[in-house]
Amino acid sequence: MEISRELKDRLAPWGFDLDQLETFAERCRHPLHLNIVKGELAVPRPGDVHPLPARGTDAHAWLSSLGRQALASQQVGVVILAGGMATRFGGVVKAVVPVLEQRTFLQLKLDDVRAIAPDAPVFVMSSFATHERLLEHVRELGAKNVEVFPQFVSLRLTPEGTPFIEPDGDVSPYATGHGDFTWAMRRCGALERFRKNGGRLLVMSNVDNLGATLDPAVLGAHLERKVALTAEVVRKVKGDKGGAPARLDGRVQIIEGFRFPPTFDQDSIPVFNTNTFVMDAAAIDRDFPLPFYRVEKKVDGAVAIQFERLVGELTAYLETAFVEVPREGAESRFLPAKDPDELQSRLETIRLVTSSRTHTR
């Protein structure tokens, strides 16, 4: 594929890989059904998903004590996924959208971390589209011990495998998915530095999920299970789209919604992946063969094809515990805000969660 030197130079800082793009181009003609899983697929068994003990119980207090020990010994870092643009909020960087009293998504996430772990390192994964604005916002906030690092970039393609051209005549770059996380954090050296400084655990969440706070009990649940990865799930409600834990050839792992066969009843799995994880830093410090999935987008009415990898796919390679966390009320750990209407509808719960957790710590 012919790519100009100027374009290569423009994309190089974001980890652009021409060989990878050529592989994507060859796959453009493959049908979408190749995303569907192969193998024996089944619902989780009893015991595959464990509920987080309710606050106020002895079990919750015990898990919280384990998590607080890890925080006190400075073994915990926080990862915030912030590569997305808020097209439904006016095309700005989503992390800098004001939420409560002009405090932004990112500011609220950082305030939460600092309330319980003042010195914990925070790693913000950006993209080519958000990186500079995030660096600027971190400076505006005066935030300390925060590192911003970018995920990777590729180019959208036509169904024929040629670069997709935007109406302005330029190519169409895109970020290749939050599954870039382990590669991107290793590429910039952040994971190595974290481990050398004694870091053991990383807590990851989306910047727009303000329910996913730094919770000692969730940390404790991860430590008690002695696993490499803990994935938070919530009870499903109507309209949920995304991944869920399922058994594939006997192994419980997150299967994305588009990968389930049409004949599989996804409603038979009562819980839903929130994209919030606790990760063992040593366990993720290697390459994983995460697949890139073909995704079709409509850009001004034309079909554009991109290939993305997803961080939940790590559950196929690492021993994982699945913890069901609350979805409603002051204890909710899943409060996504994908558009202004959803944010408005959740504001009072977000305010309640923010206030209650500040006071219960």
pLDDT band at 2 (very low <50, low <70, confident <90, very high): confident
| 9, 16 Cβ separation under 8 angstroms | no
Q: 220-257: per-residue pLDDT in tens? A: 999 999 999 999 999 999 878 889 999 999 999 999 99
Widest pairwise Cα distance in the chain: 63
Distance set, CA 56 to CA 114, 164, 216, 357 (Å) = 23, 55, 14, 13
Instruction: Tell me how far apart the terminal alpha carbons of the chain are, to the nearest angstrom.
Output: 56
Task: Give the mean pLDDT of 134-152.
Answer: 98
Calpha distance 208→133 (Å, rounded)? 16
Q: Which fold has domain 36-360?
A: Spore Coat Polysaccharide Biosynthesis Protein SpsA; Chain A (3.90.550)
Task: Give the mean pLDDT of 63-90.
Answer: 93
Q: Which of 13, 313, 290, 35 is nearest to 153 (CA)?
A: 13
Instruction: For residue 41, list its beta bridge partners.
Output: 248
Calpha distance 213→225 (Å, rounded)? 20
Q: 313-357: per-residue pLDDT in tens? A: 999 999 999 999 999 999 999 999 988 899 999 999 999 998 887
Q: 24-57: per-residue pLDDT in tens? A: 999 998 766 779 999 999 999 999 999 999 999 9
pLDDT exceeds cutoff 90 at 91: no
Domain locations along the chain: 36-360
Residue 358's pLDDT is what? 65
Least confident span in 8-17, 27-36, 179-188, 329-338: 27-36
Share of the chain above pLDDT 70, in %: 98
Looking at the chain, how many residues does it have?
361
pLDDT exceeds cutoff 60 at 359: no
Residue 187's pLDDT is what? 97
Distance set, CA 305 to CA 20, 162, 172, 238, 336 (Å) = 14, 10, 10, 29, 26
Calpha distance 66→44 (Å, rounded)? 27
pTM as predicted: 0.96
Q: What is the DSSP letter of 286?
A: S
- How confident is the prediction for the chain on average, in pLDDT? 95
Q: 97-142: per-residue pLDDT in tens? A: 999 999 999 999 999 999 999 999 999 999 999 999 999 999 999 9
